[in-house]
Structures are given as C-alpha cells and as structure tokens.
C-alpha cells in the first residue's frame, strides 16, 4: 500500500525520534518503525470494516422504525438495501477479510453511535435516494454508493478523521496513499475475487526489508556519513543545520553506497523532495548541493557500485 517515498519518510521520522531520545535503543525504534509500516494496512482494513458497520445500520434503523408503537407506512417500508448491498454482504461473510480484522484486532476499535450518525447523513443524500429506488442495481452500483459514503460522507467529516488520528498514529502521513488505494480497490472490485487478495494491500516483503535495512544501515554507518558530509558544509555550523537535513543526507548516502539496485537519480531526487516537504524552506537546495558534491567524489573513487544498466546516472 505504501510507496517507497512513504517508507523513506517513516524511516526518517523514526531515526529522528531515536536521536531525540524517544526510544531506549535502536532495536526498540526499529521494532516500532516496522509496526508503524504494518499499521497502514490496519488502517485500510479498519476503514473497510467501518464502511460495513455504517451500511449494516440500515437494518437496525428499519428494525427500530418497525418496532414503533404506531409505525407509519414509511416506517414499515424503510429500505434495508444498503445492509443487503452485495459488497457489504461479502465483507460480512468473507473468511480471509474477517480473519484479517481479527488478526490485527481492528474490529475491537469502538466508535460509539458513529455508524448511526453517518448512516443518517447518507440517507438524506440524493445519491442514496436514487440508489434505493433502483429496481435492480448492479454490483457496480452497489460499490458506487459505498464509494460515495467513503468519499463524500466520511472523509469530509472532522469527527471521522479525528477518530482515525486518535486510533492510528500514521493517519496524517498516510491518509493520501490509503485513500487512493482504497478508492482503487473499490473501483476495480470484483465480487468473489477482490477480497481474496485483500492482503495485497499489506506492505510487501521487499518493502519491509528495505525499511529494515535503510534504518539499520543508516545508524550503523552514521560516523562514516558524517565524515563525508562535514567537509562539504563550508561555512555552515553543523550544530545549526536542521537535524532532518542531516538525517536525510545520511539516508541518501546509505542508499547510494549500500543499495545497489536503486538508481542514483532516484535516490537524489527522492531525498530532495522529502527535504522540501518535511524540512526548512532552504533545505531542498542545501541537501541537493551537499549530496551533489559528495556523489561526484564517490563516483570518481568508484565507491558507488550499482547493479544494472543505467543505475549510475
């Protein structure tokens, strides 16, 4: 679910936290980092689970209306179509999906009365009224209303996003990629097939190894990276340079020297972009300038060894 840039940002954040004394040891920091990477998948699972809960409330609402002492004709004819939505029913019944909910315990998260609140917001939308009036909606129409619930009811809600921030520490950093991947999952949903591949949304083994090695190698070779960086700082006082800039340059050097399959240009461009997004306004040019000087020296000395055609450039 995560891009390599997301993974680099997470490594940067946990190296920073480690250097600021937030963890007792590097191993504790790394363990927390890997848990955070997995949490992105847990976040996606939880959102699907919550969409299911909101949809299921249609049946509860119908039951309450029908149980009134003097129910009206509208009460008795209240539509339960959303609860019987084919996508929702598969979420209820799919063994792998429910096993994953249980494995990561996201179905234990409580959000009192929120399913009622969001169902009632959905129920007054023209899109929902059109959906329940369709004589025989297709699977595509069933999924379309779930996408509407996700994108137009839940995501704009501060109540919902604050809840996600409280339950998932990675929501702020990962919300864009999670939102994109879930929308892609819904857009391409095929009944009887898509949920069989739900674990594909989890971080891949190669990406987990990348995170693990980038974190560990950067810490293991910090002294060497500092020796490469400090002579290039010229009139800059090392102690006054943004800590994130130094961390990002060390991570970039780690990739240049110890990740032979990652092209040089990819590494340089990625860390420049991360500096622009997460550090100071001057960081982009500063990081670019320092890395460019070091990279040229490392190339001339033959220290950068990339496996594959075109990876040196």
Between CA 277 and CA 179 the distance in angstroms is 20
Q: pTM (2 decimals)?
A: 0.88
Q: Residue 226: name the closest of 208, 242, 247 by CA.
A: 247
What are the structural domains of the chain? 25-203 (no CATH), 221-301 (1.10.940.10)
Q: What is the mean pLDDT of residues 239-243?
A: 77
Query: Looking at residue 117, what is its pLDDT?
Result: 96
Among 65, 87, 90, 67, which residue's Cα sits nearest to residue 78? 65
The reported pLDDT for the residue numbered 151 is 98
Are 243 and 251 in contact, with CB atoms under 8 Å apart?
no
* Residue 148 pLDDT > 60: yes
Rounded mean pLDDT of 131-135?
95
Q: Which carries the bigger pLDDT value, residue 185 or residue 3?
A: 185
- Which of 287, 288, 291, 289 lies closest to 299, judged by CA? 291
Is 161 exposed, middle or buried (CB count within 10 Å of its CB: 0-12, 13-18, 19+)?
A: middle
Element (H, E) at 173: helix 171-187
pLDDT score of 310: 46
Q: Considering only 215-224, 249-258, 276-285, which range has the smallest mean pLDDT?
A: 276-285
Q: Has residue 188 got a pLDDT over 70?
A: yes
Q: Output DSSP code: residue 203.
A: P
Q: State mean pLDDT over 185-195.
A: 96
Cα dihedral across residues 125, 127, 130, 135: positive or negative? negative
**3-class DSSP assignment, residue 204:** coil
The 10 Å Cβ neighbour count of residue 292 is 12
User: What is residue 71's predicted lDDT score, i.e. its pLDDT?
Assistant: 85
pLDDT at 309 over 80: no
Q: What is the pLDDT of residue 241?
A: 78
Q: What share of the chain is helix, strand, coil (3-state, %, to 5)?
A: 75, 0, 25
pLDDT for 135: 93
Looking at residue 189, the DSSP 8-state letter turns out to be -
Mean pLDDT for 288-293 is 94
Residue spans of alpha helices (H) in 134-229: 139-148, 158-167, 171-187, 205-220, 222-229
**Residue 48 burial (10 A CB sphere; 0-12, 13-18, 19+):** buried
Give the pLDDT of residue 238: 62
- The number of angstroms, rounded, from the C-alpha of 99 to the middle of its chain's C-alpha atoms is 21
Summarised one tens digit per residue, pLDDT across range 12-52 is 999 999 999 999 999 999 999 999 999 999 999 999 999 99
Look over the chain and give the mean of its residue pLDDT values, rounded to a whole number.
93
Q: With contact defined as beta carbons under 8 Å apart, do 117 and 159 qualify?
A: yes
């Amino acid at each position: 679910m995560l891009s390599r840039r997301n993974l680099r940002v997470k490594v940067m954040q946990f190296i920073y936290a480690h250097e600021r004394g937030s963890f007792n040891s590097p191993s504790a920091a790394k363990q927390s980092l890997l848990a955070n990477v997995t949490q992105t998948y847990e976040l996606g699972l939880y959102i699907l689970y919550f969409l299911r809960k909101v949809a299921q409330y249609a049946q509860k609402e119908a039951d309450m209306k029908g149980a009134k002492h003097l129910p009206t004709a509208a009460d008795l004819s209240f539509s339960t179509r959303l609860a019987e939505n084919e996508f929702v029913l598969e979420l209820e019944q799919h063994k792998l999906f429910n096993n994953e909910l249980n494995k990561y315990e996201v179905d234990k998260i409580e959000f009192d009365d929120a399913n009622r609140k969001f169902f009632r917001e959905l129920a007054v939308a023209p899109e929902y009224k059109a959906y329940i009036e369709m004589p025989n909606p297709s699977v595509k129409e069933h999924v379309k209303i779930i996408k509407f619930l996700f994108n137009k009811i839940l995501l704009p809600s501060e109540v919902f996003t604050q809840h996600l921030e409280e339950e998932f520490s990675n929501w702020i950093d990962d919300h864009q990629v999670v939102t994109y991947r879930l929308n892609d999952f819904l857009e391409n949903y095929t009944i009887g097939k898509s949920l069989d591949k739900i674990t594909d949304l989890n971080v891949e083994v190669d990406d987990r190894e990348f995170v693990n090695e980038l974190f560990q190698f950067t810490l293991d070779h910090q002294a060497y990276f500092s020796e490469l960086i400090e002579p290039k700082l010229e009139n800059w006082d090392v102690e006054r340079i943004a800590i994130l800039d130094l961390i990002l340059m060390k991570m970039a050097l780690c990739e240049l020297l110890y990740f032979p399959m990652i092209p040089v240009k990819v590494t340089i461009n990625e860390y420049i972009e991360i500096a622009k997004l997460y550090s100071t306004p001057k960081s982009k040019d500063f990081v670019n300038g320092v890395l460019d000087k070091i990279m040229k020296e490392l190339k001339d000395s033959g220290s950068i060894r990339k496996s594959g055609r075109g990876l040196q450039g």
